[in-house]
Amino acid sequence: MALHKVLTAGGPLAQHVHQSAKLNDDDLVALATAVTNTESDRVVRALLKCKMSVQAMVELLWVISRMASRYEERHLVRCISEGRQPANILTNLYGLVPFPAPPFEQVAALIPITTADQLRKAGQLLRNCLSKPGEELAAAVASVLSGQRYFYVWEGENPALLAFARCGSAGWILAEHSGPMNTRVPDAVIEQVEDVLAGSPSVFIGNAGSGMLRWICTR
């Protein structure tokens, strides 16, 4: 049934099945679910050139199908051709999507990161795992786009990256913080952050990334 559905749909996926020496049943079932998400043959061919697993390709096709009406085909294809690896491609795709408005604007040296590219550059500046496309950056961007997190950079004497997590309807809590190369942020910096946010009742610093609220709101 799955094989018939893919072959009947035609296009690059059907050609891929014809040319593949061996595809297991799970791959065929996954491809069958993707035939309705393949609006662009160019996109499918670009993904096939990356020689990734069928499951990863199907997942990316689903993401792309949700974006196809808002972004030009050439931009989607470029995300694929420049990414090559599934997580890198996903990072590039998410990079096309505007971030939501930050929960609070710049306060003193605490500056919101409002684009995926800014987040990557902050990672490069601090030499951490967000410095290049991949699973960590894709996950971070996805958390912002879903409204669960927002990242800020502290541009004081001791630069740091801070992640605030949404805590239901109550507001936001400081969930994570790290200095250059993921080093510990000095207590003095956290105290400065707490001071500049003293006028923002919807933001809670608390134990600076530990405690009950962090455990519950970041799960």
DSSP class of residue 172 equals E
How far is 194 from 173, CA to CA, in rounded Å?
A: 11
Letter string b/e over residues 20-34, b meaning 16 or more CB atoms within 10 A of that residue's CB: eeebeeebbbbbbeb
pLDDT at position 2 is 58
pLDDT tens-digit profile of 148-196? Answer: 999 999 998 899 999 999 988 889 999 999 999 999 999 999 999 999 9
How far is 61 from 55, CA to CA, in rounded Å?
A: 10
pLDDT at position 101 is 97
pLDDT tens-digit profile of 97-153? Answer: 999 999 999 999 999 999 999 999 999 999 999 998 889 999 999 999 999 999 999
Range 5-11 average pLDDT: 56
Helical spans, DSSP H, in 53-94: 54-67, 73-83, 86-94
Rg (CA), the chain: 21
pLDDT at position 143 is 96
Domains and CATH numbers, the chain: 2-94 (no CATH), 110-217 (3.40.630)
What confidence tier does 9 reach under pLDDT thresholds 50, 70, 90? low
